[in-house]
A and B are shown apart, each in its own frame.
Chain A
């Protein structure tokens, strides 16, 4: 069992708002993240997959394929998450929910290796890990 981690960066905007909360509650809970015009981050994504090393190739996963999947499913960036990414039409695009959404996009696409962890850095000081258990 070997673990491979691929890092990537993407940039997107978002804001935090729950329509079930009053405007005061939204401001109190989400603070400046509640600004409806949105704000952005440079996100750093780390995707870790695990599996046995193929004795023929010496690879745990074909990195070309992994990069293609990442590019197609996640890295089409410069988006306003609330308005352009269907997962966040109803869910608040927190970094927690972003990590879950990325997991749900990637897990079914991986063939040879198994998804182990999705880590999303919102800033250098804050990251979320998701291991697939909802």
Chain B
């Protein structure tokens, strides 16, 4: 879980188009969410440990690389979103890329990000998700 603010606004659109596309998410002062993150990994069960990977390793990676980067930040000010609107679609893909690049102990399957209790997003590196 992490909390961050954002404003949905595209420099490529007129003020009217930004307003009609993003509605109240276009408020220039921004607004925030509590994002709930799920990272799904897969792999063979290690015969010595009985685990796919050590959860401590996964927790530490997510704490260090995701939560420390995004928690209590304004997403619009981060380098990932200097040329991209910080929608939860794009945030989900950014988090996937970070885990995919850096976490070596198991295979990343997908990232699921809840923006609110009613809206959630999933990304599997562009692959189809069946479940």
Contact = CB atoms under 8 A, between A and B. Distances in A.
Interface in A49-83: 50, 53, 56-60, 62-64
A6 interface: yes
A58 B118 contact: no
Contacts of B90: 53, 58
Interface of B: 8, 10, 12-13, 21-23, 84-87, 89-90, 92-93, 117-124, 126-129
Nearest to A63: B119
A7 interface: yes
Contacts, number: 63
Given A56-B10, A56-B12, A58-B8, A2 B85 contact: no
Contact of A53 (B8, B93, B117, B120): B93
Contacts of A60: 89, 121
B86 A2 contact: no
A5 B120 contact: yes
30 contacts: A1-B123, A1-B124, A1-B127, A2-B93, A2-B121, A2-B122, A2-B123, A3-B122, A4-B119, A4-B120, A4-B122, A5-B119, A5-B121, A6-B118, A7-B117, A7-B120, A50-B129, A53-B90, A56-B10, A56-B13, A57-B10, A57-B87, A58-B8, A58-B10, A58-B86, A58-B89, A59-B87, A59-B89, A60-B89, A63-B119
